[in-house]
Amino acid sequence: MQRSFPRLFEPGRIGNVELKNRILKAPQHTGLANPDGSVTERMLRYYREVARGGAAMVIVEYAWVDEDASRASPCQLGIARMDHVPGLSLLAETIKANGAKAAIQISHAGRQRFILEQPKAASDVPWPEITAAGCPIPVPLTVEEIREIVKAFGRAAKRAQTAGFDMVEIHACHGYLISNFFSPHTNKRTDWYGGPLENRMRLLLDIIKEIKSQVGPDYPICVRLSGTDYEPDGHTIEETVELAKRLEARGVAAIHMSGGNHHTTIHEVAPMGMPLANNVWAAEAVKKVVSIPVVASGSINLPDLAESILAEGKGDFIGLGRPLWADPEWPLKAKEGRPEDIRPCIRCNDGCLARGDHIANTVRCTVNVALCREEEYAITPAKRLRVAVVGGGPAGMEAARVAALKGHEVTLYEKRELGGALLEASLPEFKAPDLKPLIAYFRTQMEKLPVKVVRAEATVAELLSGQYDAVIVAAGARAAVPEDIPGISSPKVVMAAEVLRGEVELGATVAVIGGGIVGTEVGLVLAESGRRVIFVEMLEEFMCGITFDERQVYERRFRELDVVVYTGRRLVEVTDVGVVVVDDTGARSELPADSVVLATGYRPERGLVDELRKQAALEQPELKVVEVGDCITPGKIFDAIHSGHLAARLLDADI
């Protein structure tokens, strides 16, 4: 493992701002602001933690610039009024007092308003997903309204400067207003703001001119762009490159590259299954034509990847978003030569998008339980207890990690390799780059912390005789096998986990029973191996429980591989020919299949915890027994890690 990152920790400069290294915190909405857009104490605590982590500059999340239609999200930060400035000043001061330079991104929502209020945009081209949820169709802006927005950006930049921010970044990507105008997909105007490239660039160039008039020639302006929006009739990288040249000529200090919009979100916030560093190609293309710094961002998960991007000349700085949610100390740990201690972002988009970002919730993170709850979830020393943890999956290892950090004496029992259900989940090639680093992180923490790992199955007798004060049971779940189905015990029927482990031979045509998380991933593995895959899902919805963006990855590959999907069908028989299914009307049909893979869910593994509780009540009533993870209810990695963390943190609450 690489432990030295000389390019990453080389000092740099954006405009007149000296930076201690090449790491920038990319702007991301947290939902921590007050409903009126003002700064909260929780927001200050969050940014204090990020700044302490070692990034050279923290670019604060997007802030709305006017009172009309620029606000995108509930509890979004505001910079539209002078009464926003005192809180913003505290925010900039907090960041700088903790070792980083402070910047802020200023934004207008355009068509992408997550609040059910009237959006205003370049044209009346809606964002399909939010319109389907009840948001009105965008109203095209008048020329006079456009001119007012230009002035609003200028005033917002002046407020940023007044508040003490070292730089302002213009949000000109991801489908928000400025990129609405730049992309022909969303700009159908016939006036001087639409049509040819020169006109579609006009809004951004006018905004830069206005900002310069407000803040002076030396105040650094960064512009964040999408290389392309990935729409069939959207803007191209060639157009973005031309725009970048114009931006440099207008005095912009840096260009921050990203990609996509909220409809093509797999390119904007890439999930598992997408390439790492998925937008770096766009940074490289822009860097070839400008002399100002270019920030590369997007799925740059670990320091060795960031170092290689800089070493190969694909960018001048690295923008980190989700990786600094997963571990705010990512820069510090890399600088200290201990990248193995970085808690990696796994790009699940479950905590940050599905459960938090852009809706009326504070952002959360699957692997970092304390994100945006830094004080509430601080790990503090506790009365020392003897603690046994049963199960070395994500719930058990997080429980063991937190218990050890609190000062408890911890023994972890695991009969297999450490990793639990992550071992199978990480086997598909499209998930390995994200999940294997998480397994490695947990294993490293088990080695470094005072955790005794016992590679054996824990028994009730051993747990009761071990003089433990508490036992955390993270025994996981077992595959649910449908009962009373004729032919279910046929040799042609196998379990999904057996397929992922490569333990079984399968025929050319495979019926996958179950279209949830496990079923879809094993189905994709089989389809990519050249087999014909048929999904049978009893619900009307396919891929239930899978995040919106990850669905896009699966749907695209399934179309390319001609995968067949039947929903609203229930398996009733396995035959020599294939499988017999029945729909809601009772109609039966037989689908030919050489092999059948069961991915029909999981049941909690309750045997040990129930027996332990029963025996402890008789023999050792003072023993605290807590179950975590899938042995309560089968869930996602988020649920496992969060339940393990919480249980360990509260162990001494009533002992």
Per-residue model confidence (pLDDT) at position 115: 79
Confidence at 540, pLDDT banded by 50, 70, 90: very high
Confidence at 104, pLDDT banded by 50, 70, 90: very high
Is the model's pLDDT at 357 over the cut of 90? no
Is the model's pLDDT at 653 over the cut of 80? no
User: Between β-strands 588-592 and 578-582, what pairing exists: parallel, antiparallel or unpaired?
Assistant: antiparallel
Is the model's pLDDT at 360 over the cut of 80? no
Per-residue model confidence (pLDDT) at position 359: 57
Q: Which of 127 and 26 is assigned the larger pLDDT?
A: 26
Per-residue model confidence (pLDDT) at position 128: 84
Over residues 163-189, mean pLDDT: 98
Per-residue model confidence (pLDDT) at position 356: 65
Rounded Cα gap, residues 452 and 410, in angstroms: 6
- Determine what percent of the chain falls in helix, strand and coil, rounding each to the nearest 5: 35, 20, 45
Burial class of residue 569 in the structure, from the number of CB atoms within 10 Å of its CB (0-12 exposed, 13-18 middle, 19+ buried)? buried
Domain boundaries, the chain: 12-116+149-179+198-354, 386-479+604-649, 493-600
Q: What Rg, from alpha-carbon coordinates, does the chain have?
A: 27
Burial class of residue 315 in the structure, from the number of CB atoms within 10 Å of its CB (0-12 exposed, 13-18 middle, 19+ buried)? buried
Written as six digits, the tokens of 424 are 């199978």
Contact yes or no for 647/401 (Cβ under 8 A): no
At 334-348, the pLDDT tens digits run 999 999 999 999 999
Work out the percent of the chain whose per-residue pLDDT is above 70.
99
- Reduce the DSSP state of residue 503 to 3 states and report it: coil
Cα atoms found within 13 Å of the Cα of residue 631, Cβ hemisphere only = 24
Angle, vertex CA 253, rays to CA 65 and CA 256, nearest 5:
70
From residue 302, alpha-carbon distances to 1, 322, 334, 401 in Å are 11, 11, 9, 21
Kindly report the CATH number that applies to the domain delimited by 386-479+604-649. Answer: 3.40.50.720
- What is the torsion angle, in degrees rounded to the nearest 10, for the CA atoms of residue 311, residue 317, residue 323 and residue 327? 100
- Reduce the DSSP state of residue 404 to 3 states and report it: helix
| Catalytic residue check, 176 | yes
Rounded Cα gap, residues 79 and 75, in angstroms: 13
Which run of H or E residues covers position 439?
helix 432-448
Confidence at 91, pLDDT banded by 50, 70, 90: very high
Contact yes or no for 85/141 (Cβ under 8 A): no
Over residues 60-88, mean pLDDT: 95
Task: Write down the catalytic residue from 62, 176, 193, 441.
Answer: 176
Per-residue model confidence (pLDDT) at position 641: 98
Contact yes or no for 141/150 (Cβ under 8 A): no
- What is the torsion angle, in degrees rounded to the nearest 10, for the CA atoms of residue 277, residue 283, residue 287 and residue 291? -110
Over residues 395-409, mean pLDDT: 98
Over residues 398-408, mean pLDDT: 98
Rounded Cα gap, residues 35 and 74, in angstroms: 6
For residue 248, the tally of other CB atoms under 10 A from its CB is: 18
Is the model's pLDDT at 487 over the cut of 90? yes
Direct distance between the N- and C-terminal alpha carbons of the chain, in angstroms, rounded to an integer: 42
Contact yes or no for 153/207 (Cβ under 8 A): yes
Contact yes or no for 149/177 (Cβ under 8 A): yes
Burial class of residue 6 in the structure, from the number of CB atoms within 10 Å of its CB (0-12 exposed, 13-18 middle, 19+ buried)? exposed
- As a whole number of angstroms, the longest Cα–Cα distance in the chain is 83
Cα atoms found within 13 Å of the Cα of residue 174, Cβ hemisphere only = 23
Confidence at 1, pLDDT banded by 50, 70, 90: confident
- Strand arrangement of the beta sheet that strand 532-537 belongs to: 493-495, 595-598, 509-513, 532-537, 564-567
At 590-643, the pLDDT tens digits run 999 999 999 999 999 999 999 999 999 999 999 999 999 999 999 999 999 999
* 12-116+149-179+198-354 CATH fold: TIM Barrel (3.20.20)
**C-alpha torsion sign, points 335, 339, 342, 345:** positive
The residue type of 174 is H
Written as six digits, the tokens of 128 are 């399909």
The number of angstroms, rounded, from the C-alpha of 550 to the middle of its chain's C-alpha atoms is 11
Q: Which of 136 and 403 is assigned the larger pLDDT?
A: 403
* 493-600 CATH fold: FAD/NAD(P)-binding domain (3.50.50)
The residue type of 640 is A
Over residues 379-401, mean pLDDT: 97
Per-residue model confidence (pLDDT) at position 655: 58
Mean per-residue pLDDT over the chain, rounded: 96
At 555-572, the pLDDT tens digits run 999 999 999 999 999 999
Rounded Cα gap, residues 478 and 495, in angstroms: 11
Confidence at 654, pLDDT banded by 50, 70, 90: low
DSSP 124-182: S---HHHHHTTPPPPEEPPHHHHHHHHHHHHHHHHHHHHHT-SEEEEEE-BTSHHHHHH
Per-residue model confidence (pLDDT) at position 548: 87
pTM: 0.95
Which single residue is written with the structure tokens 């000062």?
407
The number of angstroms, rounded, from the C-alpha of 90 to the middle of its chain's C-alpha atoms is 28
Which single residue is written with the structure tokens 């016939």?
190
Confidence at 410, pLDDT banded by 50, 70, 90: very high
